[in-house]
Amino acid sequence: MAKLTTRTENYSEWYNQIVQEAQLAENSSVRGCMVIKPYGFAIWENIKNILDAMFKATGHTNAYFPLFIPKSFLSKEASHVEWFAKECAVITHYRLKNDPNGKGVIVDPEAKLDEELIVRPTSETIIWDSYRNWIHSYRDLPLLINQWANVVRWEMRTRIFLRTMEFLWQEGHTAHSTADEAEEEAKKMLMVYSDFVGNFMGIYHILGQKPEHEKFAGAVRTYSFEPMMQDGKALQAGTSHNLGQNFAKAFDVQFTNKNNQQEYVYATSWWVSTRLMGGLIMAHSDDQGLVLPPALAPIHLVVVPVFKTEEDLIAIKNYLGSALDTLKNSQITISSPTLGEWKMPVVVKIDEDSQKSPGWKYNEYELKGVPLRIAIWARDMAQGHVELYRRDTQEKQFVKIEDLASTVSSLLHDIQKNVYTKHQSLTETNTYKVDTYEEFKEKVESWFVLAHWDWTTETALQIQEETKATIRCIPFDSPEESGVDMITGKPSTRRVLFAKAY
Amino acid sequence: MAKLTTRTENYSEWYNQIVQEAQLAENSSVRGCMVIKPYGFAIWENIKNILDAMFKATGHTNAYFPLFIPKSFLSKEASHVEWFAKECAVITHYRLKNDPNGKGVIVDPEAKLDEELIVRPTSETIIWDSYRNWIHSYRDLPLLINQWANVVRWEMRTRIFLRTMEFLWQEGHTAHSTADEAEEEAKKMLMVYSDFVGNFMGIYHILGQKPEHEKFAGAVRTYSFEPMMQDGKALQAGTSHNLGQNFAKAFDVQFTNKNNQQEYVYATSWWVSTRLMGGLIMAHSDDQGLVLPPALAPIHLVVVPVFKTEEDLIAIKNYLGSALDTLKNSQITISSPTLGEWKMPVVVKIDEDSQKSPGWKYNEYELKGVPLRIAIWARDMAQGHVELYRRDTQEKQFVKIEDLASTVSSLLHDIQKNVYTKHQSLTETNTYKVDTYEEFKEKVESWFVLAHWDWTTETALQIQEETKATIRCIPFDSPEESGVDMITGKPSTRRVLFAKAY
């Protein structure tokens, strides 16, 4: 039975082992590309379904744009190309032919493209090229579109979920008739992410605005949520951008406004990706494996019957029958500003496999983060109870069979709250207000730091150079407070959030 | 107001205009790649959601495999490479750099891949490369996995939905411990497709097996459903393959069977794609635009209030209020062998736009195939009725307000049945049993033909050469019947289905 490396022994190895042992994903034969395995993909499907409902509840529709982008598009928006056009998958040919030496196939040199195609690293350019034909008047606005897609960035050092060459994401691309409306949309979608990350993923996070030098290429303002991982690093897992008129200008998308004047369209874009899976793992899991919030768990309750004969198994199933039926017809309810009371069915699995031992199964479902487990022996039936194990706190209790359904239901809601509270407590305990650079360097090595900063890119880059910490965001809730920059001594009016980051 | 080219004037142009005018999709700046627009994508989402539920109901789970395939993988299965490795998107480089002449970006010649990557045209090879590590014993089987993905085939002549360079699809890839089980799976998934295509898409179709020379590269047997389009051509829109041990041998995937012997794994694969959208359009639509079966329609009922003042509009909405509330809480029920009684909510849209005329709106929703439309004037309120228009038959009727909800609900079920019956009738009326090659050539020019064939590839290819018709399938329900091949006079025991095809 595999035992995980602990977080304190080797955090990075612990992460890799959870990904592997919980059967979430694995590396493929294509360097940097992952295979998302069924159990991992079931979690991603839950993430996707809930987010998709949120986007629709806020008026967005889905569409689909091409995988390929003509090379010339990437350099139309000047700052965009600096971010994205460098490390990418370039298609130069469109045909293979049999190797004349009889060894498989080779690229046909005659099938060379006139203009190379790039596998999309993000879709602003190809989408705004389409929007040019869709938007003519203020009556065509706002245009609120989202796309679920795969994207490719040629990363040299990859880690499953956190940084892969190909990853899955959603990218919202909206068009508006005023600057205010675009700003409102960018902030609204950040709050949608915050709703999802907090209420469904159970992840506490700090909301704020990126400083100038950290914002997205082509953006006027970038907003992000910044959660702390258990090693004290931040994970940048989603951003929302007010793009102003930059892409509209690059792709010449103008509209006739209400005053009958031609004007460039205002834009936003916002995305989260399979990186969220990495955050989910690193925020909650422990040395026994994955810990999942019930809102995203593919299985909520696993039943491990301990039996020798087929008759025993039948007796156990009959004994549990009505409680499990009640549970399968019950729902978990999550309160969400975006979705209201969101309900999802309780999923119960009975593991009847007779080849594997109960101990093996316990370990397996602990690794996989199933929130609740019932172990039941024939003797429990006489005593009228079952043993219920709770994954997040690792507590066991005996529950009377007549209370089972209500206890499970109430515990699932409790676990959902508890993973969040625990993560909030981790974050708050390990976020330090610091006023000297000495203390800064010590704390930021391991944790979040709130410090004054002189608002210059130079100072931020010096700090990054010397400590590897970056300004994660200017928190919305950071109060006005007079102070001085730790290094330059220049005045500052509020603290910003520093951390090392994934 | 755009008026469509009619089917008889120019069928192909009629198709293109529906795609455009119903705002389903459009060509992008990347040759051969389409943009699926929000309305078209909403239909695809309905297709996807129902199929996904069917795959899960039959025990399959989703996973995700890499977009890229190493070039060498494609030639591992000998016949596979002949089909797929020729016209494809080839990635040769992984970096761009600024053009030294200052004009945008160029491919960095130093960033050349050692082995080229191919954008997946289908995923058998990359998936079986993973399965090798997943399958060791009969206890790991069956492995029932599906993937929703984009794939790329470098087509020279493209048409939206029917043949595009990039398209969206699902590909099931299953692994089994016996040949019989793989055969059963391949047939089962064909029947799942048949359930979906018949009961949800409302498309009549002929089920059967492909002849040897028409089967998928690497398959032992290929099954397909063959629907007739309104121009009499068949649309190949989905296939299910028993792959035998071919891919297991190519990728060395062996398992220990119950007798403790090493054996190669048995496989199936099966897929449908956005091509189904083309079939949906061509099976049901008419010269006024798209006709949608309610099971796939993004909007079931559109309400067009005819009003001059805001007061009128409010009065109309109050008048309709309770009927619409009842409808919004009601469901369409489809009986499906795979899903049982499948229920979906009735979607109602009220078009309150005051800029567009009622006539413009009628045309718009007819083009978009919305199954039912209510037009309502202030005067209708005094008379206690509304005008209800039914898209499939183009019939209008007045309905009493108190009967509205029940009438709409019953009509939606009726339309669902009617589009199927109509399509079945089209197919049956235009499927001819033919015994001479003369008559064959005449009928197959425009319609389906059931004819005897001597079961040789030579004869089939001669017929294809001379008439452009192919053997679509050997229908399951084609009875034993002695006859002779139309050309060679050799004996035949049953008729096969010939048609020209998309």
The per-residue pLDDT for range A189-211, each reduced to its tens digit, is 999 999 999 999 999 999 999 99
A407, A386 Cβ separation under 8 angstroms: no
Among B75, B92, B168, the residue with its CB nearest the CB of A107 is B92
Chain A contact for B360, CB < 8 A?
A: no
Chain B contact for A310, CB < 8 A?
A: no
Q: Please provide the distance, in angstroms rounded to a whole number, between the alpha carbons at the two ends of chain B.
A: 31
pLDDT at A84: 62
Of the listed ranges A101-115, A262-276, A431-445, B185-199, the least confidently predicted one is A101-115
The answer to whether the Cβ–Cβ distance between B91 and A35 falls below 8 Å is no
pLDDT at B84: 63
Amino acid (1-letter code) at residue A93: H
Model confidence at A175, in pLDDT bands (50, 70, 90)?
A: very high
Q: Two tokens at A263?
A: 């004007």
SS3 A176: strand
Task: Determine the residue among A35, A36, A129, A167 to mutate to test chain B binding: the one whose Cβ has the most chain B Cβ atoms within 10 Å.
Answer: A35
pLDDT at B161: 98
Q: Is the dihedral of CA B474, B478, B482, B484 positive or negative?
A: negative
Give tens-digit pLDDT for B197-242.
999 999 999 999 999 999 988 899 999 999 999 999 999 999 999 9
Among B28, B37, B91, the residue with its CB nearest the CB of A91 is B91
Provide Rg for chain A, Cα atoms.
26
Q: What is the mean pLDDT of residues A213-226?
A: 94
pLDDT at B138: 97
pLDDT at A282: 98
Query: Could you count the other beta carbons within 10 Å of the beta carbon of residue A336?
Result: 20
In chain B, what are the domains? 11-90+121-284 (3.30.930.10), 299-412 (3.40.50.800), 433-499 (3.30.110.30)
Average pLDDT, chain A: 95
The answer to whether the Cβ–Cβ distance between A97 and B104 falls below 8 Å is no
pLDDT at A357: 95
Neighbour-count burial for A14-25, b at 16+ CB within 10 Å, e otherwise: bbbbbbbbbbbb
Q: What is the mean pLDDT of residues B283-312?
A: 96
Chain A contact for B299, CB < 8 A?
A: no
pLDDT at B101: 83
Q: What is the mean pLDDT of residues A349-376?
A: 96
Percent of chain B residues past pLDDT 90, beyond the cut: 92
Chain B contact for A71, CB < 8 A?
A: yes
- Cβ neighbours of residue B177 closer than 8 Å, sequence gap 6 or more: B138, B141, B142, B255, B257, B258, B263, B265, B266
Q: Which residues of chain A lie closer than 8 angstroms to B105, CB-CB? A: 71, 74-75, 81, 85
Q: What is the ipTM of this complex?
A: 0.96
The answer to whether the Cβ–Cβ distance between B26 and A130 falls below 8 Å is yes
CA distances from B101 to A117, B97, B110 (A): 20, 11, 18
Average pLDDT, chain B: 95
Stated pTM of the model: 0.97
Q: Two tokens at B72?
A: 């060498």
pLDDT at A104: 84
Percent of chain A residues past pLDDT 90, beyond the cut: 92
pLDDT at B1: 52
Q: Is the dihedral of CA A126, A129, A134, A136 positive or negative?
A: positive
Model confidence at B379, in pLDDT bands (50, 70, 90)?
A: confident
The answer to whether the Cβ–Cβ distance between B92 and A89 falls below 8 Å is no
Q: Two tokens at B25?
A: 């999709």
Give tens-digit pLDDT for B51-107.
999 999 999 999 999 999 999 998 887 677 776 657 999 999 999 998 888 778 899
